[in-house]
Structure 1
């Protein structure tokens, strides 16, 4: 059975197929299905649906020139807004004019001001500070913070002879490293089986060494060296003679002109000098001492050499 607006023709056989027809739906049939609710308008005669602004007083919703909804903002006056504003710390407010501005403190020592262009202004060098040892001034333009210096009391030029003040990794001012003085000493005694004293002058006797290190990590060190030697000679009677020296500098000569042998004749000698080249910071250097022998005659022999090597390292 066909529903409303539907018709079926034909028996459905091959010779007489079924034909289903539907009636067209008109706008007049559909429009009664619609009605208007809150905020909407509907005209059943035309089928036009529109938004419906409220007619209550104070409603600013309306239609714009393009047919869309338009909300017209209510004009807010300065008098409405100004009572909402007040001044807190560091600011001032004039409710009569609505002007808000910064308010510098009137406390003594304040250098913040309003500049000629109306902006906040702190003059260069005008930050007020509390200074401690070694500083003067309060940071104002009239009294800038400065290092408290004394008068240079020496005849030399401060530009070339003055020391350095530097800032360390933690921001602390430091002076130049402290001077250091370090003393080293070495003593050695060697015995020999009555060796003959060479006839020539300044001949090799024995070699001595001593190692020193400059402990200063910053400065080179002047090395002041003191060397001592003592050689025991056996001198036969009737002209036995011998000498010894510090390197090529002969320091002592002895001769037996008597009729009796002299055993273990000796004399302790000393030389002081400085090394021509200072030791670099942390440098280790070997100090040497060559004891020489010579002018041996009459069967003179030696059986002992005693040495001292002393070193004073000074870094300033």
Structure 2
């Protein structure tokens, strides 16, 4: 500044200051970087791990919540580039490929992590006894009555394999020399012949078969399991007066 401030000699402020005169003041502290080659100033971002400050196209930026990341069971890190959030995982201990045999984890609408649905084993059965008025046992293979069980897969997520156990018990009346046989479907299971001299009343033996009825019963779907009771080899006036059946179904969904 020069001059005395009078009308003849007014104050004059000189603006002839070079960049070198002020650069030291502007870049004297941390947070500002100076490029001597280009003469440009820029923000200086600390490289200390955990720092979430970045330089965006429109200025300095800190992601929302980056400074308030809390980790709990199974999580580590703070979400920064130097310490990203990570999930603690184990080692796959099986010989199969996890890409094809591994399960899945999903995020439920309430934000909770959920695994695959639990496997189920369900059991359904029917037991029935029917009586008859001493009907003649046929000598050729014949379906004399049919029993059935309606089953439903209660699992709403997975298909079920259905294993069925069927039991049949028939009461025969066999006069002397008479014979009779019964079976499940076309499979003869029991035969009895009276070799004595008097009538055998209510001769019976209970037989059982187990088989795979349905390989894949869709979630919530139903099926009909039938048990045709057959008889043959009737001779000598053989009759039957009672059939007792059990049909038991085990539904396995895994």
Same fold at TM > 0.5: yes
Paired position in structure 1 for 2:115: 175
Task: Map Cα deviations across residues 269-307 of structure 1 (whole Å, 9 max, x no partner).
Answer: 000111243211101222111010010001100000000
1:1-316 superposed matches below 5 A:
109-113=50-54, 119-120=59-60, 127=66, 129-201=69-141, 203-237=142-176, 239-316=177-254
SS at match of 1:169: coil
Deviation at 1:260, TM superposition (A): 1.2
Q: 2:107, 2:49 → 1: CA distance?
A: 33
SS in 2 for 1:131: coil
Q: Per-residue CA shift, 1:185-209, capped at 9, x if unaligned?
A: 11000000000000113x1110111
Which protein has the larger Cα radius of gyration, Structure 1 or Structure 2?
A: 1
Compute the TM-score of the two structures, normalised by the length of structure 2: 0.76
- 1:276/1:213 CA distance change after superposition, 3 Å: closer
Structure with the higher fraction of residues in strand conformation: 2
CA distance in 2, matches of 1:210, 1:118: 72
Q: RMSD of the alignment, in Å? A: 2.8
Structure 2 unmatched ranges of 5 or more: 1-30, 32-41
Q: Which runs of 5+ in 1 are unaligned?
A: 1-91, 93-100
187-196 vs 174-183, which moves further: 174-183
Q: 1:118 to 1:193 in 2, by over 3 A?
A: closer
Structure 1 SS opposite 2:100 = helix
Q: Decide whether the 8 Å contact of 2:146 with 2:229 is kept in 1.
A: yes
Q: How far off its partner does 1:140 sit?
A: 2.2
Aligned to 1:14: none
Aligned length: 212
Distance 2:58 2:158 in 1: 57
